[in-house]
């Protein structure tokens, strides 16, 4: 399509969305103001702009947490947070798109518990932009979502990480391999867990499928939120024990101390 045709297409799409917003007014699911767009994502433009804010830099070279003070540097000058200096994580690297603010928590929980399925592909676009900034860091052979235990997936009807990972795999042109990793032990029903409980509940809770070929595989591991990193760590351990060469975690949001814990039970 020529740039002229593309421009006209975008203009026509904008007109359609504006007309839809006039004919079918509805409130933004985050702030409650009337929607000013007909997009399938039920957020107003102001909230969309807020959700698209990326994490501040510099970031820890391994886990991707924003570092707010001068941290120890490796010989190559990379900064590492105190957790990564202690060798807390089994994954090689993790990155998140934005902070787990109250608005982001609302958006994530809508995908997780309210079946607003279009948010999966929308969030996948966020993560594709993270990869596009430095594609060499994210070289992978497969995209794998963090799995739910079977009872929770039956109850919910879907895995929110899979709804993000599948369209992300398409955007990146990589194989989608949801079957490689399984959760072998259910998460406790307790809504909010302490930091220690988060680590304990996922320790040994993941395994590779017995017929999965993981040896020497480079895995892009996808989830919705990075809180303590316990879930990504447990999944990375299982993958590496099966022979994975490299595991890189990607999440939509990263919980940061200044925002507290605005959502329910992310890990």
**Cα–Cα distance between 200 and 205 in angstroms, integer?**
9
Q: Which of 188, 199, 262 is nearest to 233 (CA)?
A: 199
Tens of pLDDT, residues 70-98: 545 554 568 999 999 999 999 999 999 99
DSSP letter assigned to residue 56: P
Domain ranges for the chain: 1-51, 55-259
In CATH terms, 55-259 corresponds, of 3.40.1620, 3.40.50, 1.20.140, 2.40.160, to 3.40.50
Whether the ω angle into residue 58 lies within 30 degrees of 0, i.e. cis, is yes
Q: What is the pLDDT of residue 53?
A: 96
DSSP letter assigned to residue 48: H
What are the distances in angstroms from CA 65 to CA 96, 143, 249? Answer: 8, 22, 12
Q: What is the pLDDT of residue 38?
A: 64
Token output for 197? 């409980």
DSSP string, 159-189: -HHHHHHHHHHHHHT--B-GGGEEE-SPPPS
| Model confidence, pTM | 0.85
Tens of pLDDT, residues 144-193: 999 998 888 988 899 999 999 999 999 999 999 999 999 998 776 665 67
Which of 40-54, 160-174, 207-221, 249-263 is least confident?
Answer: 249-263
User: How big, in percent rounded to 5, are the helix, strand and coil portions of the chain?
Assistant: 40, 15, 45
Strand blocks (E) in the chain: 93-99, 142-145, 181-183, 206-208, 218-226, 246-254
pLDDT band (50, 70, 90) for residue 210: confident
Query: 158 Cβ partners below 8 Å, 6+ apart?
Result: 115, 117
Are 3 and 80 spatial neighbours (Cβ–Cβ below 8 Å)? no
């Amino acid at each position: 399509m020529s740039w002229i045709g593309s421009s006209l297409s975008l203009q026509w799409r904008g007109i359609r969305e504006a007309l839809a917003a006039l004919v079918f007014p509805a409130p933004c699911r985050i702030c409650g103001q009337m929607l000013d767009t007909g997009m399938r994502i039920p957020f107003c433009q102001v909230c969309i702009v807020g959700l698209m804010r990326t994490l501040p830099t510099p970031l820890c070279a391994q886990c991707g947490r924003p570092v707010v003070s001068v941290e120890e540097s490796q010989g190559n000058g990379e900064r590492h947070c105190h957790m990564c200096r202690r060798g807390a994580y089994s994954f090689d690297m993790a990155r998140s798109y934005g902070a787990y603010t109250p608005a982001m928590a609302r958006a994530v929980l809508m995908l997780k518990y309210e079946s607003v399925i279009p948010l999966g592909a929308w969030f996948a676009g966020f993560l594709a932009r993270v990869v596009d900034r430095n594609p060499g860091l994210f070289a992978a052979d497969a995209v794998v979502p963090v799995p739910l235990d079977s009872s929770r997936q039956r109850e919910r009807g879907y895995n929110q990480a899979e709804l993000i990972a599948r369209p992300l795999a398409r955007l990146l042109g990589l194989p989608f391999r949801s079957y490689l990793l399984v959760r072998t032990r259910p998460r406790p029903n307790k809504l909010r867990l302490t930091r220690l409980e988060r680590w304990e509940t996922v320790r040994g809770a993941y395994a590779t499928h017995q017929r999965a070929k993981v040896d020497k595989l480079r895995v892009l591991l996808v989830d919705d939120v990075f809180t303590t990193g316990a879930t990504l760590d447990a999944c990375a351990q299982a993958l590496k024990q099966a022979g994975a060469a490299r595991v890189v975690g990607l999440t939509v949001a990263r919980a940061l101390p200044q925002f507290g814990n605005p959502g329910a039970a992310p890990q």
